[in-house]
């Protein structure tokens, strides 16, 4: 489209496309990667891995996306197999612990990697063991992996070989909390976060928790307080902007009966009173030019339907308690900005491309 | 039930039934009252009021409950009309501001009233004006109305003529917060509450917000921070147990895509560190013998499906931040314990009957 | 209920209660039986069986119904164990093939049985083998089992020892089709049925088909044409009223994203033209006095929300094609009139009690 | 993307874009047009009309699509206003009866029109009056309007000035029924159709029928038998391929609790017995090369989730009743192939472009 209106960022023309592969392609995050990479102007989908559906045709596992004409591979271990297929970049949507042991070999073979699991998000192998109960298979890579939250650390991405894509909850909470922390507004008191997630966030393996007649029409908290593993990467990123500790972060996630979406609210105590205008100005300034963050104005608050299908994060701020408590609300699509979309945004920056290349901006009208 | 109206085939004993009427009978709260009163062994449904459906047969407005064979009345103003029909107790499920102006006459005519609107919950006409934007039509009644949260103030109910039924959010939040406040544990710092509500909480009048293709599959915060009118009754009840102020209460409600249910989490800062066992013991002791509150044990957390269709409130406690922050979770069915069920529980106590008479304990298996 | 178990506060009269047990108690049908029997004035719940949750407390498997204070049993085989617990009537909600092999011993031990599986619905062991792929374990019982569709064959139930509870689809389709067939209106041409079912109809075992993020927001046909096993009992019952064959019955079921409910439409070709008034008169006359069937009037059509939670079947008739094609619509709650409620209706009649004893008539206001 | 894999059909490059406008832009169909035209490589969105939101910014009415930076216009009557804005093609998503009176002037002013209402679908003004109760405001245009079902009458579209976009139900039913009718297989007996629709099909104006707590969790038939207005265009199109009458078509639509999707099943009596292979071969041959129709193989049946967000129609055939009754199942997204997507497909052909230009092929992974 040659005029100004554009809802997505296809930058067509003569760009040479890069061969890409997806591991764990048949889960929700993997399939969302396939869907988005399939229309990405710089990507040529060349290989898909799935242990569960190995040897099946992709379209038998995902009949809604029949245009992808590939057979699902099982041989995850050998980077050579991916190189033979023309893959230059691997997106891994495997569960945590599954890819890390072969990451070193993939990198040595010259493949670049965007890992969507938790494996390379934490700097500390000890904390990884504590949070995930697994001895880290490749601790030597932890320092060199870039944490892919591009609104904050885009500079780490250009040319990176290994990018750790943030968790879905962490993405929403960090985009909400970091501006106030960076500005030095935080009092040091406990930060209290409540968050809601759609059911696709629990993955595609059938369980009683995600059975329609159980979770439909019901809301449930889980792993509340200080129990959720995403707290590790939240606190690490918070410390990075404060230059000190993240103090106490309390995180109360809930499962709610919708397929997609995360909605978080962050209550952050301040060292001095601010008013709403000042707070909004801080957030608006911080995200000026950020293609995928919108700070809502007036009475508007983030709703997940306004970001469903989009890579955008909607945010809004309020102040209460006489200006001493900041409330920040953030909404994302857990499978897009919370996973596959952000992975592509990170990859765009790794390639030196515009960060929005091939990514959807418009939310679905209804779903 | 000894009269003709019966929604099920319970064959009760010899209890004499009391004539009851419902105002605002065709909204969700009103219809839930009709449904529950229809099988209550002490109730004889004798009159139903509805301005919207006046002169219609009840079953045309609510085809799912055809056994109630009454015509909907429009003449809300005259207590005599209700007395003529044999009504002794009126449940009003009208919106706030609609019934208060005639309450005095109803009471003088000897009718007892359970009002499910916000009109008689606050002690102060000034605060009512501030929260609801209406000059209170009957300020003289505010002091004598009993606030019907029977797990806390059952003693106010026996023999009461006018009972104000608590708001749905207030019920969940107060059942969660009051034990710690009563015990003197609260530090005085800001209490931060997040809550989720099913869509029936927004009433039965069609709006874009509650249109299926808008709110389905989406979650949205609204009236966050210090804006929600239920904060008035929450703070008033909190002050009553602390004997002082309620300090700052921050309340962030959300609309989530389910028909019924409220799930609240309360983060309450403590003056001294406690451990989980101590906190659970406090809650278990406080609600010992309470027929409709269950404090969950072990890993269990309240889920709305476990109280859907039931008058029970499920609660659970956790402590974080080194024991200095108490988290309390509570789930109720907004139409039962949050409205019609609690109204009947209050009425049972007004009559001197067992508080659980005619009320459902079992949750629906799925819905 | 004279024993300790009580799910509500009905204060029944002096009826002596009968000891009942439920096999397969933790699936949706089993749990619905527990919920409904728990408030049935003639039932004393004395034993619950569940292989999956053996040795657990009931309330750990179904936290929403904590008042039932029983441990789940695994020893399904021995009728003596049930007798020892005071059980006189066993409701089996096990999958087909699981209970039939021990049915003979249960009956010989004097236990009465309502079986909610498909095992005793068909008269012919050959057809059972064809439809379900299992050699029938107790073919000698097939002739003596009563088919429990009480609006049609109530006379078979009084004093029956073994009752086969109809399938959920079969209940809706037969209540819709039988009056016209009995009246001799059918031309003999193909009867075409489409039906929709809520997801609880697929059971409680998690599968990809019933995973929230798969079936939510989507509709899907399955086992269409002549493939669905319920066709066997439908055709058998149709033949019983026609006195001849049932001819061709085409049955197209669909899974739709709701927890409960079945909605069927039956297109039945007629041997002579009728008008709508004549058709409605036939249906109204046939179901006159039937407590649980309502023939809707005027423009009203059955909707599943009007029977959700109720044991009622709503039906409506229309004629098209110049009066030569009859359309009948029927809605039931698949777990109530389609399973647990009808089982209790059958049991009431086995006992010689009113058929509606302890059964819900009012639909839930919203869910 | 230069390689073979492509999930959508952006054909970028040097194509000059055409100015487009949308009337009725803020309803679901209108907003879906805006969303899809916003990324269409041949479209420049230049004007949007909405009486309800006149003078508002687009993004205030649809906050999920903020990139469209246009003010909503109210002046629907004057083609000059659209020409001034550079509009060459108008998509009208107004309700039926609203645009037809000004269509003549728009066409005379040189604007091309794709009308998504029912106004130009029927050839006969008398039938229009009968079906819609409105005297047709522009009967002189009925003969020249092209009926835009491109898999059947693509030849009518190139160069057309006025295209009537088919109804959502009609699209699904016709794609399912026409191949058998064209082949002369139909016996002339009654064709019986059942169909399910998502709630967005009822439009965006709030009503009790589409209120979340009413239609959620429930299924309901409506306008059944011979009452639905889409029967007119269905029968007209059927007659066109048979060269004679369409005989009796019985159409039973249902509202089911999902936002999007139509699923139809057609039972079509045959003049001679066929087997499934023969029937599948007919359908596969008929739709060979059709970019947007897929005939499913083996056990697969159409499900709405496999076409959600896509312009594809999935279909499957079965034969029953000894080969004398053909069953055809079809699934579409009511807002895409059933409305906005097909309108763009029609427009592509009007322009002489590839029919799939700018249209989504991949279904959403979950929603």
List CB contacts (< 8 A) between B269 and chain A. Answer: 190
Q: Longest Cα pair distance anywhere in chain B, in angstroms? A: 63
Distance, in Å, from the CA atom of A194 to the CA atom of B266, rounded to the nearest integer, reads: 10
> Do the Cβ atoms of C114 and C346 come closer than 8 Å?
yes
**Do the chains contact at A213 and C199, CB–CB below 8 Å?**
yes
What local confidence, expressed as pLDDT, does residue C360 receive?
Answer: 96
Q: Out of C324-328, D54-58, D248-252, which region has the weakest mean confidence (pLDDT)?
A: D54-58
Q: Average pLDDT for residues D10-17, to the nearest whole number?
A: 52
Residue of B nearest to D202 (CA): B213
Residue of C nearest to B300 (CA): C63
**Do the chains contact at A65 and D7, CB–CB below 8 Å?**
yes
- Whether B69 has its CB under 8 Å from any CB of chain C: the answer is no
What is the token pair recorded at C15? 């009826």
Q: Average pLDDT for residues C47-60, to the nearest whole number?
A: 91
Q: Average pLDDT for residues D193-200, to the nearest whole number?
A: 98
Q: Is the pLDDT of residue D282 over 80?
A: yes
Residues of D with a known catalytic role: 168
CB burial of C299-312 (b: ≥16 within 10 Å; e: otherwise) equals eebbbbbbbbbbbb
**Do the chains contact at B259 and D211, CB–CB below 8 Å?**
no
List CB contacts (< 8 A) between C28 and chain A. Answer: 213
List CB contacts (< 8 A) between A329 and chain D. Answer: none
Question: Could you give all domains of chain A from N- to C-terminal order, each with its CATH number?
Answer: 18-166+337-351 (3.40.50.720), 169-334 (3.30.360.10)
Tens digit of each residue's pLDDT (9 = 90 or more) over D17-35: 999 999 999 999 999 999 9
Mutant choice from B191, B217, B317 vs A, greatest count of A C-beta within 10 A: B217
DSSP state of A177: H
**Do the chains contact at A267 and B303, CB–CB below 8 Å?**
no
List CB contacts (< 8 A) between D62 and chain A. Answer: 365
| Residue D15: pLDDT band with limits 50, 70, 90 | low
Q: Is the pLDDT of residue C221 over 60?
A: yes
What local confidence, expressed as pLDDT, does residue A246 receive?
Answer: 78
What local confidence, expressed as pLDDT, does residue B15 receive?
Answer: 55
Hey, which residues 18-37 in chain D have their CB within 8 Å of chain A?
28, 31-32, 35
DSSP state of B211: B
Residue of C nearest to A211 (CA): C211
Q: In the beta sheet, which residues pair with residue A48? A: A22, A72
Distance, in Å, from the CA atom of D106 to the CA atom of D100, rounded to the nearest integer, reads: 10
List CB contacts (< 8 A) between C8 and chain B. Answer: 356, 358-362
**Do the chains contact at D303 and C218, CB–CB below 8 Å?**
yes
Catalytic residue list contains C168: yes
Residue of D nearest to C214 (CA): D366
| Residue C44: pLDDT band with limits 50, 70, 90 | very high
CA distance, residue C16 to nearest chain A CA (Å): 36
List CB contacts (< 8 A) between B367 and chain D. Answer: 217
Distance, in Å, from the CA atom of C114 to the CA atom of C213, rounded to the nearest integer, reads: 35
> Do the Cβ atoms of C201 and C334 come closer than 8 Å?
yes
Hey, which residues 120-159 in chain A have their CB within 8 Å of chain B?
none
Using a pLDDT cut of 90, give the percent of chain C over it: 91
Contacts of residue C275, defined as CB under 8 A and 6 or more positions apart, other chains included, come to C319, C323
List CB contacts (< 8 A) between B208 and chain D. Answer: 204, 206
Tens digit of each residue's pLDDT (9 = 90 or more) over B130-149: 999 999 999 999 999 999 99
Mutant choice from C213, C217, C309, C326 vs D, greatest count of D C-beta within 10 A: C217
| Residue C15: pLDDT band with limits 50, 70, 90 | low
Please name the member of C190, C220, C329 whose beta carbon is closest to the beta carbon of D301: C220
Q: Is the pLDDT of residue D7 over 60?
A: no
> Do the Cβ atoms of B223 and B281 come closer than 8 Å?
no
What is the token pair recorded at A361? 């901006």
B255 to each of A171, A172, B229, D41, D366, how far by Cα in Å? 22, 19, 16, 38, 21
| Chains in contact with chain A (at least 3 beta-carbon pairs closer than 8 A) | B, C, D
CB burial of B22-33 (b: ≥16 within 10 Å; e: otherwise) equals bbbbbbbbbbbb
Cβ atoms within 10 Å, residue A226: 16
> Do the Cβ atoms of B43 and B37 come closer than 8 Å?
yes
What is the token pair recorded at B41? 């062994």
Tens digit of each residue's pLDDT (9 = 90 or more) over C261-314: 999 999 999 999 999 999 999 999 999 999 999 999 999 999 999 999 999 999
Distance, in Å, from the CA atom of C190 to the CA atom of B318, rounded to the nearest integer, reads: 63
Residue of A nearest to C208 (CA): A206
Between B and D, how many CB-CB pairs are < 8 A?
57
Please name the member of C200, C206, C215 whose beta carbon is closest to the beta carbon of A207: C206
Q: State the residue for tokens 């066109």.
A: D240
> Do the Cβ atoms of D337 and D292 come closer than 8 Å?
yes
Q: Report chain C's mean pLDDT, rounded to a whole number.
A: 94
- Whether A66 has its CB under 8 Å from any CB of chain D: the answer is yes
What does residue B256 show for φ and ψ, rounded to 5 degrees? -125, 155
D138 to each of D118, D143, D168, D229, how far by Cα in Å? 13, 11, 23, 19
CA distance, residue C261 to nearest chain B CA (Å): 10
Query: Using alpha carbons only, how large is chain C's radius of gyration in Å?
Result: 20
Distance, in Å, from the CA atom of C155 to the CA atom of C289, rounded to the nearest integer, reads: 15
Please name the member of B225, B308, B329 whose beta carbon is closest to the beta carbon of A218: B308
| Residue D342: pLDDT band with limits 50, 70, 90 | very high
**Do the chains contact at C365 and B307, CB–CB below 8 Å?**
no
Of B155, B134, B116, give the one whose Cα is nearest residue B23.
B116
What local confidence, expressed as pLDDT, does residue D10 receive?
Answer: 39
D183 to each of D149, D271, D272, how far by Cα in Å? 18, 11, 12
Query: What is the ipTM for the molecules in this complex?
Result: 0.94
Cβ atoms within 10 Å, residue D130: 12
Please name the member of B7, B28, B41 whose beta carbon is closest to the beta carbon of C361: B7
DSSP state of C201: G
List CB contacts (< 8 A) between A69 and chain D. Answer: 4-5
Distance, in Å, from the CA atom of C230 to the CA atom of B152, rounded to the nearest integer, reads: 53
Hey, which residues 295-314 in chain C have their CB within 8 Å of chain B?
296, 300, 303, 305-310
Hey, which residues 166-225 in chain A have their CB within 8 Å of chain D?
200, 217
Residue of C nearest to B298 (CA): C60
Distance, in Å, from the CA atom of A89 to the CA atom of D157, rounded to the nearest integer, reads: 44
Classified as helix, coil or strand, C164 is: strand
CA distance, residue B106 to nearest chain A CA (Å): 39
Q: Is the pLDDT of residue A196 over 50?
A: yes
Hey, which residues 332-351 in chain B have their CB within 8 Å of chain C?
335
What local confidence, expressed as pLDDT, does residue A28 receive?
Answer: 98
Q: Average pLDDT for residues C319-343, to the nearest whole number?
A: 98
Please name the member of C204, C212, C257 whose beta carbon is closest to the beta carbon of A215: C212
Residue of C nearest to A61 (CA): C208
Length of chain D: 367
Distance, in Å, from the CA atom of C238 to the CA atom of C233, rounded to the nearest integer, reads: 8
Please name the member of B196, B318, B325 whose beta carbon is closest to the beta carbon of A190: B325
Distance, in Å, from the CA atom of C100 to the CA atom of C105, rounded to the nearest integer, reads: 10
Catalytic residue among A168, A215, A313, A366: A168
**Which ranges of chain C would DSSP assign to H, the alpha helix?**
28-37, 58-61, 79-84, 100-108, 125-132, 150-153, 168-182, 212-215, 230-242, 276-286, 341-351
Q: Average pLDDT for residues C312-337, to the nearest whole number?
A: 98
DSSP state of D61: H
**Do the chains contact at D318 and C224, CB–CB below 8 Å?**
yes
Q: How far is CA B148 from the centre of its chain?
A: 8
DSSP state of B71: B
Q: Average pLDDT for residues D98-107, to the nearest whole number?
A: 94
Distance, in Å, from the CA atom of C247 to the CA atom of D344, rounded to the nearest integer, reads: 47
Distance, in Å, from the CA atom of B9 to the CA atom of C291, rounded to the nearest integer, reads: 11
What local confidence, expressed as pLDDT, does residue B77 receive?
Answer: 83
Catalytic residue among C168, C215, C313, C366: C168
What is the token pair recorded at D115? 């009308």
Q: In the beta sheet, which residues pair with residue C264? A: C195, C330
D359 to each of B268, D11, D25, D355, how far by Cα in Å? 52, 11, 19, 9
| Chains in contact with chain D (at least 3 beta-carbon pairs closer than 8 A) | A, B, C
Distance, in Å, from the CA atom of A314 to the CA atom of A332, rounded to the nearest integer, reads: 7
Q: State the residue for tokens 């439009």.
A: D203
Name residues of chain B where pLDDT drops below 70: 1-15
| Chains in contact with chain B (at least 3 beta-carbon pairs closer than 8 A) | A, C, D
């Amino acid at each position: 489209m040659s005029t100004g209106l554009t809802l997505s960022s296809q930058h067509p023309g003569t760009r040479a496309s890069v061969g890409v592969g997806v591991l764990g392609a048949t889960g929700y995050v993997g399939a969302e990667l396939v869907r988005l990479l399939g229309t990405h102007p710089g990507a040529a989908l060349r290989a898909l891995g799935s242990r569960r559906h190995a040897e099946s045709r992709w379209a038998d596992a995902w009949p809604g996306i029949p245009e992808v004409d590939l057979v699902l591979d099982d041989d995850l271990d050998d980077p050579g197999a991916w190189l033979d297929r023309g893959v230059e970049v691997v997106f891994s949507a495997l569960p945590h612990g599954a890819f890390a042991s072969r990451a070193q070999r993939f990198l040595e073979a010259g493949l670049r990697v965007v890992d969507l699991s938790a494996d390379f998000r934490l700097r500390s192998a000890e904390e990884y063991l504590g949070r995930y109960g697994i001895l880290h298979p490749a601790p030597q890579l932890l320092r060199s992996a870039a944490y892919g939250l591009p609104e904050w650390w885009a500079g780490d991405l250009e040319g990176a070989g290994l990018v750790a894509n943030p968790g879905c909850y962490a993405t929403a909470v960090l985009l909400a909390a970091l501006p106030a922390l960076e500005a030095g507004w935080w009092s040091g008191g406990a930060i209290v976060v409540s968050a809601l997630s759609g059911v696709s966030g629990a993955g595609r393996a059938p369980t009683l928790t995600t059975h329609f007649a159980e979770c439909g029409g019901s809301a449930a908290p889980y792993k509340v307080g200080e129990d959720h593993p995403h707290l590790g990467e939240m606190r690490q990123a918070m410390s990075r902007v404060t230059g000190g500790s993240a103090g106490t972060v309390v995180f109360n996630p809930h499962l709610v009966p919708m397929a997609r979406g995360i909605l978080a609210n962050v209550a952050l105590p301040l060292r001095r009173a601010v008013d709403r205008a000042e707070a909004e100005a801080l957030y608006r300034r911080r995200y000026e030019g950020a293609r995928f963050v919108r700070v809502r104005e007036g009475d508007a608050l983030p709703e997940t339907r306004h970001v469903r299908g989009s890579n955008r994060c909607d945010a809004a701020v309020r102040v209460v308690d006489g200006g001493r408590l900041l409330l920040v609300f953030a909404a994302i699509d857990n499978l897009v900005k919370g996973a596959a979309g952000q992975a592509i945004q990170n990859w765009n920056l790794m390639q030196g491309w515009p960060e929005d290349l091939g990514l959807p901006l418009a939310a679905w009208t209804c779903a």
